[in-house]
Structure 1
Amino acid sequence: MQTKLEGKRHSGYVKGKTYNMSLIIILFLLFGTTQTQRTTPDIMMQYFQRQLQQLEGRMNRCEQDFQQFGQKMYDVFKEIHGQTNKMNVLRSEVKGHVDTVAMRLDRVERDVEYLQNNIPEIAHVEIEDSLLEHQVKEAKLKKSVIPEDKDCSSVLTGIKSLKIVKKAGDTTGSWMKDPTKGHVIYSGFVYYHLADTINEILKVHLSNRTVTDRLLLPGAGRMPAYSLNTNTLLDLAVDEMGLWSIHADPDFGGNLVITKLDHNSLAVEHTWDTNCDSRNAEASFMICGVLYVVYNSDYGGRSSIQCVFDIHDTIYTESTPEVFFPKRYTSHSALCYHPQDKQLYAWDDGYQTIYKLDMKKVTMT
């Protein structure tokens, strides 16, 4: 009996132990499966996040490379544009030099032709006589450009008064009144120096705004016409005789050169080398074929007319007194003479100013 009871106990113990092991295995499998189910999505999410981060980094690098490429292309285009502009400027300068040489060569040829045609046959007459005759012919040519219906019997002797019209604000500017400075309005057309060119003058019809003619003025635009107004390379003016251009010539010591232009065709009628220096000059204007140059200082002061050049040789420029302007502001960026009302229209440091002139009758010889 005891042996049977012990056998039953042993059998029950074994069964209980087996049951406990099964339970442990089941719990382990359940727990392990739960952990696996929980861990697998996390691993996948981490993997995708790493992939997205790598893709985002590649896109950022690609964007940076594209921006760098775009900047390089812009720099290359800018450099090409700058070199093109320099080439255009150099081409205009070379064209201006060529035109200047051609103009001076034409003058020499005309002088030589004149001498060949007018040297007297009498051997004892010296060459000075023919040169004197040539000078007489030149003087007649100068006088012949004066229109018969214009009154040019007076010269400027002083500034009578001034009137300030308004303050515009900008230190540089022009009236845009017929005529104006640097660009003139004359007989229904506007004449102006084309920007970014050395010496090109355009003639534009005011009504239909079309370019009707253009001129490359020989020798102009290689230096500022006035050292105190460096933006003006080529100036234009109108007086009783018509249309004029004014520029400084570095081959002539920086002195001013005036050219009479045909306002219809823009053809050059005649050119005069003056004794008026462009240094410390701020502006100039023409009255009846007489050039009046206004000077000042770098720091601004009282403007004055210190140089006069008369193409008719009727004014003794060496004895001409210095004409002072009334002291107002700094300096003139523009001065233009109106041949109808015979007044000066000025731009004085942002102030639009009108000057009335003192004129004196002279005898034309």
Structure 2
Amino acid sequence: MKLVLILLASTGWTLCASQFYDQALMDYVENRLLAMEGHVHLWQEQLRQHHGELQDFHKQSNRTLEALRRQHAALSEDMAEAAARVERVERDLYSVESRTSPRACANQAERVVEQGVWSQEESRGDRDGGWEEIPSRVSDCVEIPSSIRSAKILKRVGAPKGVWLRDPRSSKVYVFNGTSGDTVYRFESVKEFGGSAGGALGRPIRLPSHWRGSGVAVYNGYLYYIQQGADVQVVKYDTLRGEPVDTAILPVESRSVVYSLNPETLADIAADDHGLWLLYAEGESEPNINLAKVDPVTLDIEQIWDTRCPRDKSEAAFVACGMVYVVYNTLPASRSRVQCVFDVNDKVASEEAPLFYFPRRYGAHASLKYNPEEKQIYSWDDGYQILYRLNTKRKLPV
């Protein structure tokens, strides 16, 4: 009997303990659920707050974008008006230069054609819009270039820098694409070059060595170019036989350049009515451009002059009738201008020297090659091949 009572007491105690544990577990679960409901409620409040802030930010962004659109439209109008004003100022400046400045000798009636075609009084050709090349004529070299009469943008082909020029003897055109290489391209005429489709560069001619810069010339059927290498050399190349004839080392340092704005050109070769010329700088410290008369047969230097034309800000030069015309520009490129003229014969007084502006184009001239029989300049400007037809005047003795 005693044992039964003990068992009953133990069973009752166990049941009471189990009920107490279940109640505690239920209370814990309920408290956790209440805590979770509180967090969910807090998150919902924060979400509503963030949603409201996002809506306010969206409205503010729309207002800001609308204000920026209005400002952009106003700025575009201001830019268009400023461009129109700059164009008017350039026209007025050109007009003033044409009337008063010694650096622009063209009359107002002979303004440069900017549309890339010859003016009506200059144009020649058939009804299909072709144009005829000027026939070669012998010049007695009593007239010198005085101003730019008109300009023709022939085409755009090749690299931003290069050289193209015409042989007065055969009328063949040679194209040096880029600032160095061993290949030159030949066309039978300027008309063929202008009519070539796309980026065609004509018949390739492989040279025996690499040329560098714009220092090339064609004279009496020979190509003359500056050879790339440790020494600065001029190479005479026979275009008929397709082989080099002679070479000569020039008095030029391999690190010096003749034009500061075209550092690829160590020395420049030019041809005019009197023969072959070399433009160079003796060294990096030499401030001026030197001129040398070169024997086209032996490549010997016959005479040397200090032109007193500075190398600084020079982009190119050409020689016409024994006179050096040095063309200058700025960085960034602006309007090219002939600002220094040197006469080897001292027959042109300084106040009579023709200083003039080139029409504003795409950048700066990489090369300027004068053709004495046509009185034209073959220029390369940012990949564009341009012909400048020149006015001339008689030399006045000092």
Interval containing the TM-score (normalised by the shorter chain): 0.5 to 0.7
3-state SS of 1:323 partner: coil
The answer (yes or no) to whether the contact 1:194–1:201 under 8 Å persists in 2 is yes
1:169, distance to aligned residue in structure 2 (A)? 4.4
Q: In 2 relative to 1, CA 328–214 (structure 1 residues): closer, same or farther, beyond 3 Å?
A: same
The answer (yes or no) to whether the contact 2:235–2:244 under 8 Å persists in 1 is yes
Q: In 2 relative to 1, CA 221–340 (structure 1 residues): closer, same or farther, beyond 3 Å?
A: farther
The answer (yes or no) to whether the contact 2:147–2:391 under 8 Å persists in 1 is yes
Alignment match, 1:354: 387
1:333 paired to 2:372: no
Distance of 1:278 and 1:318 partners within structure 2: 21
3-state SS of 1:250 partner: coil
1:251, distance to aligned residue in structure 2 (A)? 7.2
Distance of 2:390 and 2:222 partners within structure 1: 27
**Structure having the larger proportion of residues in strand:** 2
Distance of 1:220 and 1:250 partners within structure 2: 6
Q: 2:149 aligns with which of 160, 165, 174?
A: 160
1:297, distance to aligned residue in structure 2 (A)? 0.7
The answer (yes or no) to whether the contact 2:348–2:397 under 8 Å persists in 1 is no
1:156, distance to aligned residue in structure 2 (A)? 2.1
1:318, distance to aligned residue in structure 2 (A)? 5.1
Distance of 2:261 and 2:284 partners within structure 1: 20
1:298 paired to 2:331: yes
1:212 paired to 2:201: no
Alignment match, 1:63: none
Residues matched between the structures, number = 217
Distance of 1:175 and 1:319 partners within structure 2: 30
**Structure having the larger proportion of residues in helix:** 1
The answer (yes or no) to whether the contact 1:202–1:213 under 8 Å persists in 2 is yes
1:248 paired to 2:237: no
1:303, distance to aligned residue in structure 2 (A)? 0.2
The answer (yes or no) to whether the contact 1:220–1:247 under 8 Å persists in 2 is no
- Supply the RMSD in Å over aligned alpha carbons: 2.0
1:357, distance to aligned residue in structure 2 (A)? 0.7
The answer (yes or no) to whether the contact 2:280–2:289 under 8 Å persists in 1 is yes
1:362, distance to aligned residue in structure 2 (A)? 2.1
Alignment match, 2:216: 183
Which runs of 5 or more structure 2 residues have no equivalent in the other structure? Answer: 1-137, 169-173, 175-213
Q: In 2 relative to 1, CA 198–254 (structure 1 residues): closer, same or farther, beyond 3 Å?
A: farther
Which runs of 5 or more structure 1 residues have no equivalent in the other structure? Answer: 1-148
| 1:308-362 deviations in Å (ceiling 9; x for gaps) | 0000111123553530001121110010100111100100111100001111112
| 1:97-152 deviations in Å (ceiling 9; x for gaps) | xxxxxxxxxxxxxxxxxxxxxxxxxxxxxxxxxxxxxxxxxxxxxxxxxxxx8512
1:222, distance to aligned residue in structure 2 (A)? 4.1
1:272, distance to aligned residue in structure 2 (A)? 0.7
Aligned residue identity for 1:272: W
Query: What does 1:184-333 align with in structure 2 at a 5 Å threshold?
Result: 184-219=217-252, 221-250=254-283, 253-317=286-350, 320=353, 322-333=355-366
Q: Which has more radius of gyration?
A: 1
Identity %: 39
